């Protein structure tokens, strides 16, 4: 009876039953508004009993019954989302009926009940979650088992007042910790108008403000918020997370946390704007800590978002548990209880390599407060599949030995990036329960998914081929993080575009969610406008720019970096004339054809007529590589290949032919250099057909030259690459000057 009433009351619209007067409608609305004000007010220990007594009083119940008899909502033609909700609601009623018959009180996909979490730690693991383990420990600082009468500060915080204006952390007041006015709530509770939606769909962004920081600038749309960062401390960050993070920072020897890079970038993330940070110093370049600082900030932001989501659900569950069934059906029409998406996962992090994922998940566990990680399930399997398969201490020792033995053959940054697990096909779900972290959880029951683009694109491909498979766990992603995008560029960036296009779609199945509490903007298909996208890279390129401009549609706006580059020409240690030749191209789409025409008509005739060998053509794009290869074949030129797909036996043979002078020309790609860092001998003349994406490759390749000249082809559409190599100021002159040839010595 209760379920039928529950299902009938909650819906997109309710049908017209009678025609009351406007006066009765106003009376009903006023009474409901008064009651909802009482219910929406965050309860405190003093007024909780009073609130419940008012709801349960006979007068209130009689008034409520009278209002229900009078209640009328104007009929509106059902939309496609009305039909979707009706279908899901019918399934939910059947689902609830089954639960009642079996007496099962297990929380659904979005729930975070303490009973469920304690049950898993008492030895009864949930069989529906692959990888669930009954033993734990290993990654993090255990603080004991769950259960008993141990006090949980965060549970108290979750059930306490949302209107707290000040909370104490380490004896100091933390202002701006008000949950009800935090950026989490203001972002997700914002109602988009039709005008706002139309503006977002146009995908046109105007950057209105600039804030300078040391050697770069942050630019943003809408209102500038960076100038106001000093007016509060970690607005909306859970005090438990803040306290633990501060403790870790101090133990690492840090000082003045409020002025640190971690704090700055966290504040930017916590604004819930889309972020493009394209000057991040990668961890594999020694002596640079900015990468770790940035990672700590976005990991803490992701944790805060997950725990805030869980707290909101728990608070609403607690409020609803105190109400009678006939009151619940009416209360659920209040938007304050709409706290869920279609599925549970809220954070998706895309990373290029398993070794990078290993580093991130380890840091994620470190940054999780101790009381949330008394049990880390499947940590041994995680070390085996993502690490070296040994303990952390032994792994560090072995890594040091391996690095020492290979240091002479490869650059240090190459060893750091590829020295660990370089698997690029992985995917792992992470679930946070009351006091434990579950690795390898089922994707639908996980809070966070960490994956490589290739690993996730494989799942998407399987869902397209097989009807019994789907990727609906991507339907409710609210925070997307793409880290080390520059490395992903060397893999296949089109996978990232496909994945982002797959996010926030209406799911094909219900997956056990409580459809009565799905946020309205999910049902309206507006989820992409509420998803925050954070893209982190060591450099920018048109592909990353395209994703950020056309697929990141956050209603909060955007912030991106504007960097000034000094260039890497001083790193060329040899006395070599570097000749830059500019070719004309009308549009970016025509640039590839214009480059090829310039090479075939201006550059190749000089090569063909020359008797000198040892000519290397360095090519950035694989498609350009194929095009030039086919042209050289048509000209019956003497050449050999060294690309990313060349067999190892052919590579050794080609290097030998080129060094011995048996082949006049060698084609060498940037991706081959990225994955192998070959030291090619016998280069007498270097022609850079297209500039490398990674600026550090330019001096590496030029320093291999045994001759005295290097020729570089470029157009005005190569300015992003050009400025990283010759410097921002010089690149602007080179693309606008009347001259077409520039020489650096």
Instruction: Write out the DSSP string of 422-483.
Output: -----EEEEEE-SSEEEET--GGG-SEEEE-HHHHHHHHHHHHH-TT---GGGTT--EEEE-
Mean pLDDT, the chain, as a whole number? 78
Structure tokens at 335: 């938007």
Q: Report the distance separating Cα 517 and Cα 513, nearest Å.
A: 9
Q: Report the distance separating Cα 729 and Cα 562, nearest Å.
A: 14
Q: What is the pLDDT of residue 594?
A: 96
Poorest-pLDDT segment among 107-121, 130-144, 638-652, 711-725: 130-144
pLDDT top residue among 302 and 467: 302
User: Could you tell me which residues are beta bridge partners of residue 210?
Assistant: 219
Q: Give the contacts of 88 (CB within 8 A, at least 6 positions apart).
A: 510, 515
Kindly tell me if the per-residue pLDDT of 699 is higher than 50: yes
Question: For 340, which DSSP code?
Answer: B
pTM higher than 0.75:
yes
Q: What are phi and psi of 703, to 5 degrees?
A: -70, -10
Range among 132-141, 336-345, 495-504 rated most confident: 495-504
Q: What is the pLDDT of residue 670?
A: 95
338-359: average pLDDT: 96
Kindly tell me if the per-residue pLDDT of 52 is higher than 80: no
Q: How much of the chain exceeds pLDDT 90, in percent? A: 54
Q: What is the pLDDT of residue 578?
A: 94
279-290: average pLDDT: 82
Poorest-pLDDT segment among 11-25, 383-397, 446-460, 682-696: 11-25
Kindly tell me if the per-residue pLDDT of 214 is higher than 90: no
Kindly tell me if the per-residue pLDDT of 535 is higher than 50: yes
159-169: average pLDDT: 37
Kindly tell me if the per-residue pLDDT of 459 is higher than 90: yes
pLDDT top residue among 516 and 166: 516
Q: What is the pLDDT of residue 62?
A: 52
53-80: average pLDDT: 46
Q: What is the pLDDT of residue 666?
A: 95
* pLDDT single digits (tens) 414-449: 999 998 899 999 999 999 998 899 999 899 999 999
Q: Residue ranges of the alpha helices (H) in 252-289? A: 261-269
Adjacency order of strands within the sheet including 741-744? 639-642, 665-669, 615-619, 685-688, 709-714, 577-582, 741-744
Kindly tell me if the per-residue pLDDT of 623 is higher than 70: yes
How many Cα neighbours within 13 Å face the side chain of 114? 17
For residue 732, count other CB atoms closer than 10 A to its CB: 13
For residue 416, count other CB atoms closer than 10 A to its CB: 18
């Amino acid at each position: 009876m209760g379920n039928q009433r529950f299902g009938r009351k909650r819906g997109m619209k309710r049908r017209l039953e009678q025609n009351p007067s406007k006066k009765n409608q106003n009376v009903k609305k006023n009474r409901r508004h008064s009651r909802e004000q009482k219910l929406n007010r965050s309860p405190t220990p003093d007024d909780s009993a009073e609130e419940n007594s008012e709801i349960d009083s006979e007068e209130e119940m009689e008034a409520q019954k009278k209002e229900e008899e009078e209640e009328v909502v104007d009929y509106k033609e059902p939309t496609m989302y009305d039909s979707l909700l009706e279908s899901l609601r019918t399934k939910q009623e059947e689902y609830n009926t089954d639960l009642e018959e079996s007496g099962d009180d297990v929380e659904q996909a979005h729930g975070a009940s303490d009973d469920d979490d304690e049950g898993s730690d008492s030895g009864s693991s949930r069989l529906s979650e692959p990888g669930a383990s009954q033993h734990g420990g290993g990654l993090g600082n255990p603080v004991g088992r769950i259960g008993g009468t141990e006090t949980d500060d965060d549970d108290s915080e979750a059930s306490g007042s949302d209107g707290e204006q000040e909370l104490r952390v380490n004896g100091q007041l933390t202002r701006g910790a008000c949950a009800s006015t935090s950026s989490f709530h203001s972002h997700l509770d914002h109602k988009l108008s039709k005008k706002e939606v139309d503006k977002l769909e146009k995908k046109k962004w105007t950057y209105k403000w600039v804030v300078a920081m040391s050697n770069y600038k942050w630019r943003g749309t809408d209102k500038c918020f960076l100038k106001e960062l000093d007016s509060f401390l970690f607005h909306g960050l859970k005090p438990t997370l803040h306290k633990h993070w501060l403790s870790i920072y101090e133990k690492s020897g840090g000082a003045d946390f409020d002025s640190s890079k971690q704090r700055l970038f966290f504040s930017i993330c916590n604004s819930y704007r889309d972020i493009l940070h394209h000057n991040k110093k990668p961890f594999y370049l020694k002596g640079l800590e900015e990468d770790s600082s940035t990672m700590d900030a976005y990991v803490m932001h992701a944790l805060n978002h997950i725990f805030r989501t869980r707290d909101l659900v728990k608070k609403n569950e607690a409020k609803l548990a105190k109400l009678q069934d006939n009151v619940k059906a009416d209360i659920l029409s209040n938007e304050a209880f709409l706290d869920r998406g279609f599925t549970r996962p809220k954070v998706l992090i895309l990373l290029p390599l398993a070794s990078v994922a290993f580093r991130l998940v380890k840091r994620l566990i470190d940054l999780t407060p101790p009381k949330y990680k008394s049990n880390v399930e499947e940590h041994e399997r995680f070390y085996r599949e993502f690490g070296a398969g040994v303990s952390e201490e032994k792994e560090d020792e072995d890594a040091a030995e391996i690095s020492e033995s290979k240091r002479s053959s490869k650059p240090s940054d190459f060893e750091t990036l590829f020295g660990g697990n370089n698997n690029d096909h992985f995917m792992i779900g992470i679930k946070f329960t009351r006091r434990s972290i579950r690795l390898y959880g089922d994707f639908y029951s996980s809070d966070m998914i960490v994956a490589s683009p290739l690993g996730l694109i494989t799942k998407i491909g399987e869902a397209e081929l097989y009807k019994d498979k789907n990727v609906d766990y991507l339907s409710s992603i609210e925070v997307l993080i793409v880290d080390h995008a520059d490395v992903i560029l060397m893999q296949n960036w089109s996978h990232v575009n496909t994945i982002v296009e797959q996010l926030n779609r209406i799911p094909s199945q219900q997956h056990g969610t409580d459809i009565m509490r799905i946020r309205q903007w999910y049902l309206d298909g507006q989820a992409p406008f509420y998803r925050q996208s954070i893209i982190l890279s060591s450099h920018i390129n048109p592909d990353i720019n395209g994703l950020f401009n056309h697929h990141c549609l956050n209603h909060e706006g955007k912030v991106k970096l504007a960097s000034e580059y000094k260039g890497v020409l001083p790193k060329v240690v040899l006395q070599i004339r570097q000749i830059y030749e500019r070719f004309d191209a009308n549009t970016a789409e025509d640039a590839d054809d214009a480059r090829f025409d310039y090479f075939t008509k201006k550059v190749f005739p000089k090569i063909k007529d020359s008797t000198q060998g040892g000519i290397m053509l360095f090519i950035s794009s694989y498609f350009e590589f194929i095009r030039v290869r086919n042209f050289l074949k048509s000209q019956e030129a003497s050449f050999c290949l060294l690309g990313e797909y060349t067999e190892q036996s052919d590579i050794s043979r080609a290097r030998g032919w080129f060094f011995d002078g048996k082949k006049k020309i060698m084609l060498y790609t940037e991706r081959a250099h990225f994955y192998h860092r070959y030291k090619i001998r016998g280069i007498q003349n270097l022609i850079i057909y297209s500039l490398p994406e990674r600026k550090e490759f330019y001096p590496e390749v030029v320093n291999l030259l045994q001759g005295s000249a290097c020729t570089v082809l470029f157009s005005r559409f190569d300015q992003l690459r050009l400025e990283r190599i010759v410097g921002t100021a010089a690149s602007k002159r080179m693309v606008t000057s009347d001259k077409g040839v520039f020489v650096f010595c």
